[in-house]
Amino acid sequence: MLDINDIGKVFDPITASVEKGQLSRFAKAIGQNNLIYIDNAAARNSGYDDLPVPPTFLFCLKMDVPDPFENYEKLGVCLQKLLHANQSFEYFNAAVAGDVLTFNSVVEDIYAKKGGALEFLIEKTKVVNQRDEHIADLVTTLVIRS
Amino acid sequence: MVNFDDIYVGDFLPVLSTEKISRTTLVLYASASGDYNPIHIDIDFAKNTGMDDVFAHGMLSMAYLGRLLTNWVDQRSIKKVDVRFTAITPLFAQIICTGEVQKKQVVGDQKIIEVLVEAKDSNSGEIKISGIATINLTENRSN
């Protein structure tokens, strides 16, 4: 059971370095063949300082901690009943390999539907880089089946 | 290069077809994404939750949608991607990503288009992910 008193709860910030090796592994895992994402020279020719972080990889960097589900479990979420329902990314600035990104997350909302059979947890995350430039906002909606 | 003036509502993006999702795909994605939720990589865990087998990360198919978009426009033009995961993607599915321009508007001096993006099962046509990508084409960038 989730507790609506946890609405507004701020999670500990997560800081993640964007490493080239990670980006290469991600490119391979998703079948990426666009050179901008796998070749330094192509990235630079396109005006990036280094390999760019592809659109959804910010979500992965946020999970780059020893136990990425710990925050949810502390709120009473059972992993076996957890589904990812919605995801949004709003972008403000590009992130590239070598950047150090900080993820500040807050519990935006908690509510139930179908008489409590489905619980919803909405987490909003602001991502900034080492120069405190706003990179993106992520909103994750999780559904927990009872 | 994608040019605002050459785009019309109803235009389709070049379709992206992906390889069939294998167990290897899921292990590679788990490792690359840091998402080791066992429901995607451990058949015993999956069976204990009442599933027949592991299933794909929703974010893997969303990453495919990211490829659909960045194959079409420069990533720096993408302002927002907002999706709903509507169905589980089983092992061995093949995902087809499509995009259709739904809106084209000038807001102030900004040239904005909205694209309906969908990830579908290539066999059944079932929609796995559906959402909207907002793209700002004010600056002409080569891709």
Residue ranges per structural domain of chain B: 4-136
Helices (H) and strands (E) in chain A, counts: 4, 5
Q: How much is the pLDDT for A52?
A: 98
For residue A124, is it within any domain?
yes
Q: How much is the pLDDT for B136?
A: 97
Segments of chain A assigned E as strands: 14-17, 82-91, 100-113, 118-128, 134-145
Q: How much is the pLDDT for A69?
A: 86
For residue A35, is it within any domain?
no
Probe site for chain B from A80, A82, A96, A139 (most B CB atoms < 10 A): A80
**B34 vs A89, residue with greater confidence:** A89
A61-65, B28-32, B70-74, B77-81: least confident range: A61-65
pTM for the structure as a whole: 0.95
The dihedral of CA B20, B22, B27, B30: what is its sign? positive
For residue A33, is it within any domain?
no
Residue A111 near residue A69 (C-beta atoms within 8 A): no
Count of domains for chain A: 1
Name residues of chain A where pLDDT drops below 50. Answer: none
Q: How much is the pLDDT for A64?
A: 82
**Is the ipTM reported for this complex over the cut 0.85?**
yes
Do the chains contact at A28 and B32, CB–CB below 8 Å?
yes
For residue A45, is it within any domain?
no
| Chain length of chain B | 143
Q: In terms of CA atoms, which chain B residue is nearest residue A43?
A: B143
Q: How far is A86 from chain B (nearest CA, A)?
A: 4
Q: Which residues in chain B are contacts of A68 at CB distance < 8 A?
A: 34-35
pLDDT over threshold 80, residue B143: no
Probe site for chain A from B17, B67, B114 (most A CB atoms < 10 A): B67
Probe site for chain A from B27, B41, B55, B59 (most A CB atoms < 10 A): B59
Q: How much is the pLDDT for B86?
A: 96
Cα dihedral A73, A77, A80, A84 in deg (nearest 10): -110
A64 lies in which domain range?
A: 4-18+52-145
Q: Which is it for strands B110-121 and B95-107: parallel, antiparallel or unpaired?
A: antiparallel
Q: In terms of CA atoms, which chain B residue is nearest residue A25?
A: B32
pLDDT over threshold 80, residue B142: no
Q: How much is the pLDDT for B141?
A: 65
Specify the CATH superfamily of domain B4-136: Hotdog Thioesterase (3.10.129.10)
Do the chains contact at B59 and A90, CB–CB below 8 Å?
no
